[in-house]
Amino acid sequence: MKIKPANRLNSVSEYYFSQKLREVAEMNAAGKNVINLGIGNPDLPPSDETIKTLAEEAKKPDVHGYQSYVGIPELRKAFAAWYAKWYGVELNPASEIQPLIGSKEGILHITLAFVNPGESVLVPNPGYPTYTSASRLCEANIIAYDLDEANNWQPDFVALEQMDLSQVKLMWVNYPNMPTGANGNPELFEKLVAFGKKHQIVICNDNPYSFILNDDKYSILAVEGAKDICIELNSMSKSHNMAGWRMAMLASNAEFIQWILKVKSNVDSGMFRPMMVAAAKALENSPEWHQQMNDVYRNRRELAFQIMDALACKYDKNQVGMFVWAKIPEKYTDSGQLADEILYGKNVFITPGLIFGDKGNRFIRISLCSPENQLMLALKRITDVQE
């Protein structure tokens, strides 16, 4: 008898970066010294106050046991204060916030809580691959909706209205957008809330990039009545340099929160208490701290623009977030060809846009999570300047 995996694994593949980073590691082991400009993995530390709080709390003898599934009150209150301060959104910390072990797990929890096998989920193209893979693991039908450069990477509501939406339960949106860097705005969010209410589709906005190179911070929950039909995910990974901490949250109405908690409480346990206390401290970071981080990213972005220029790629200088998204020259078949040419010919890893859907075929993405000296070295390699 041969053991076989569950059929649902036939609908998903190993995450692209999981595969590619193994290849990069093999190249490095062979002495290639690949410069990784592919991953949005912040290389800067959290604030000093955050680290200090973690160290002090972790020394306490009574903080190492299991914690509540809903997180400590201090963290929920800190998330609520953060939303009020930066987004102008009032949230009840006791009932409208659910801390998460990273927003990636929240994507799966939400899908399990709302979507039955055979029902449908709207996912953006191009878009974060986890929206699709999580939906497939839940045995949902995927309905891709196109985002187009000519429409500032926003949904085409006329095209959406022409789709069969009868079985759609969720719609994933992501503004500020990854991978394109397009920002959201109140008008877009109002349209999304109205669309969700009209068709009884839960609108899920994934919002981890609003603090990076972005002067206009928006939450879909700021729209009147949005909590009735919307869920917003947010993460401290990018905004507070805490990717490895796996510290995130979602916000919505109290009933939605309870449904998601039913899933979460059967899948994982609470987070480490000292990390939650330290995360609450991080949420108090000053505007000056965030500005310092953005000064670093702004300098790096200028170098990323120069790399894109060297590759003859076209880009929007007004994009936000921690990536640069650019259109490739016509001479390339697709973005995979250009990315492989740079990886194997120049030992520089950049992300081909095709991994985000076929609407990303003609685009590449550079991460701003590498120091300036690495970006400059990548530029030298690409332009064939002697190291």
Looking up residue 378, the CATH number of its domain turns out to be: 3.90.1150.10
Mark whether 292 and 375 lie in a shared domain: yes
What pLDDT is attached to residue 272? 96
Mark whether 175 and 299 lie in a shared domain: no
Question: Do 179 and 353 touch, CB atoms closer than 8 A?
Answer: yes
Task: Give the CATH number, domain containing residue 130.
Answer: 3.40.640.10
Return the percentage of the chain with pLDDT > 70, whole number: 98
Question: Do 313 and 329 touch, CB atoms closer than 8 A?
Answer: yes
Which two structure tokens, joined as six digits, stand for 317? 């200088």
Vertex 357: Cα angle to 354 and 358 (nearest 5):
75
Q: Is the pLDDT of residue 386 over 70?
A: no
**Residue 71 falls within a domain, yes or no?**
yes
Residues 7-59: tens digit of each pLDDT: 888 877 776 777 777 888 899 899 999 999 988 899 999 999 999 999 999 99
Residues 156-203: tens digit of each pLDDT: 999 999 999 999 999 999 999 999 999 999 999 999 999 999 999 999
Q: How confident is the model at residue 340 (pLDDT cuts 50, 70, 90)?
A: very high
Which two structure tokens, joined as six digits, stand for 78? 């800190």
Closest CA to 40 of 314, 300, 384, 334: 300
Mark whether 220 and 263 lie in a shared domain: yes
Mark whether 246 and 337 lie in a shared domain: no
Residues 84-132: tens digit of each pLDDT: 999 999 999 999 999 999 999 999 999 999 999 999 999 999 999 999 9
Could you tell me which residues come within 8 angstroms of residue 258 by beta carbon, excluding any fewer than 6 positions away? Answer: none
User: Residue 133 sits in which domain range?
Assistant: 64-282
Which two structure tokens, joined as six digits, stand for 355? 């991994």
What string of DSSP letters covers 198-263? Answer: HHT-EEEEE-S-TTSS-S----GGGSTTGGGTEEEEEEHHHHTT-GGGT-EEEE--HHHHHHHHHH
Q: State the total domains in the chain.
A: 2
Q: Sign of the CA dihedral 294, 128, 87, 326? A: positive
User: Pick from 228, 257, 282: which residue ends a domain?
Assistant: 282
pTM, to two decimals: 0.94
Coil/strand/helix, residue 355: helix
Mark whether 211 and 94 lie in a shared domain: yes
Question: Do 347 and 33 touch, CB atoms closer than 8 A?
Answer: yes
Mark whether 94 and 198 lie in a shared domain: yes
